[in-house]
């Protein structure tokens, strides 16, 4: 136990037994000013920080700073720092200030996740505390990474946040549900985009989000689905599946077929066209640009050494030696050349 002189013990007891939060905060500040070398300084600062958190964010943060000077690994203080700096980022309108606040929040979050167990705390209590704060710490690291376009780190940490979150938080409106959507966006903004995981997590967020968020989330979800699958067929099965599971099943990519690639489309056209010479010029052009070399060669053989008549050609540019022209419908519409005649 801690030994205190009677006068200090009375001041400490009077301070912590105040019944209103404002009076308690003021009394604890007075105690700490009177006894700056208190043997219970760290635990008293933690109590003060938690008291301020009920009514004064600025003083909560400054008290967290004071506590970390005394106890640099204090998980509660590191969590408060992460939370309030992330809030500052949310309010910031200047991009540089926003990024700076996110960087600060992520820095505290990294320290929080690495914080060792205090020597006077039981392992069970520490694990319980870590379980409570970990989702928010992972979320702060993920948000910071996404803002810097580091989507791999964002995906890893948003995923860790969802795994660490209590199940009820993953279906209730709040930060975890919002970050479920952000995970979907991070998959979409990855290089190359992962449209299938984008579809899953944005659909999952939309399933439990209230309006107007539900409609906004669904726009991204259906866009990613169509980009992956080629059309909206079968999307209803996804909206049902996401309500039963936070993470996609391992066989999702085999149950949702990807849209055919341009090379697949070419192979299909060649297989189903008895006389390739009868194809329209724009179809031949598509095959030459997108087909596998052997497929392109088959079409090239129908053109090679022959005179070809091109009706309705739009000339884009001409010199003494060449003409650049729009031939296919897409090229004519966008006023870009897709053929050069020398």
Nearest to 200 by CA among 153, 125, 250: 250
Inter-CA distances, 95 with 85, 91, 246, Å: 14, 11, 32
**Per-residue model confidence as pLDDT tens for the chain (342 residues):** 677 889 998 999 989 989 899 999 999 999 999 999 999 999 999 999 999 998 999 999 999 999 999 999 999 999 999 999 999 999 999 999 999 999 999 999 999 999 999 988 999 999 999 999 999 999 999 999 999 999 999 999 999 999 999 999 999 999 999 999 999 999 999 999 999 999 999 999 999 999 999 999 999 999 999 999 999 999 999 999 999 999 999 999 888 888 777 777 777 777 888 887 777 777 777 777 777 888 778 777 887 777 666 666 778 888 888 888 777 767 777 778 877 777
By three-state DSSP, how is residue 230 classified? Answer: coil
The structure's pTM equals: 0.77
The DSSP output letter for 214 is: H
Q: How far apart are CA 218 and CA 199, in angstroms?
A: 9
DSSP for 12-65 reads HHHHHT-SSHHHHHHHHHHHHHH-TT-TTHHHHHHHHHHHHTTT-HHHHHHHHH
pLDDT for the residue numbered 1: 67
CA distance 252 to 220: 19
The owner of tokens 């039981």 is: 122
């Amino acid at each position: 136990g801690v030994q205190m002189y009677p006068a200090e013990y009375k001041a400490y007891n009077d301070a912590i037994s105040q019944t209103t939060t404002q009076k308690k905060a003021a009394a604890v500040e007075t105690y700490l000013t009177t006894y700056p070398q208190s043997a219970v300084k760290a635990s008293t600062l933690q109590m003060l920080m938690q008291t301020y958190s009920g009514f004064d964010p600025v003083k909560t943060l400054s008290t967290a700073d004071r506590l970390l000077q005394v106890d640099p690994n204090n998980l509660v203080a590191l969590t408060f720092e992460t939370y309030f700096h992330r809030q500052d980022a949310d309010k910031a309108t200047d991009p540089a200030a926003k990024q700076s606040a996110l960087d600060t929040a992520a820095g505290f979050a990294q320290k929080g996740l690495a914080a060792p167990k205090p020597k006077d705390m039981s392992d069970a209590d520490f694990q319980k505390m870590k379980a409570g704060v970990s989702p928010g710490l992972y979320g702060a690291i993920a948000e910071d990474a996404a803002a810097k376009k580091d989507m791999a780190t964002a995906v890893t940490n948003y995923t860790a946040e969802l795994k660490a979150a209590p199940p009820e938080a993953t279906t209730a409106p709040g930060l975890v549900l919002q970050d479920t959507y952000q995970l979907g966006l991070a998959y979409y903004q990855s290089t190359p985009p992962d449209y299938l995981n984008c579809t899953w997590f944005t659909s999952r967020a939309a399933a439990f989000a209230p309006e107007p968020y539900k409609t906004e989330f669904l726009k991204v979800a259906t866009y990613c689905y169509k980009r992956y699958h080629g059309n909206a067929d079968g999307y209803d099965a996804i909206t049902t599946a996401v309500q039963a599971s936070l993470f996609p099943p391992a066989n999702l990519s085999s149950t949702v077929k990807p849209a055919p690639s341009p090379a697949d489309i070419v192979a299909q056209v060649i297989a189903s066209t008895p006389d390739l010479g009868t194809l329209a010029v724009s179809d031949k052009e598509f095959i030459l640009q997108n087909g596998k070399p052997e497929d392109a060669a088959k079409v090239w053989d129908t053109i090679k050494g022959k005179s070809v008549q091109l009706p309705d050609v739009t000339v884009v540019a001409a010199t003494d030696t060449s003409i650049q022209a729009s031939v296919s419908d897409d090229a004519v519409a966008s006023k870009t050349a897709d053929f050069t005649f020398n």
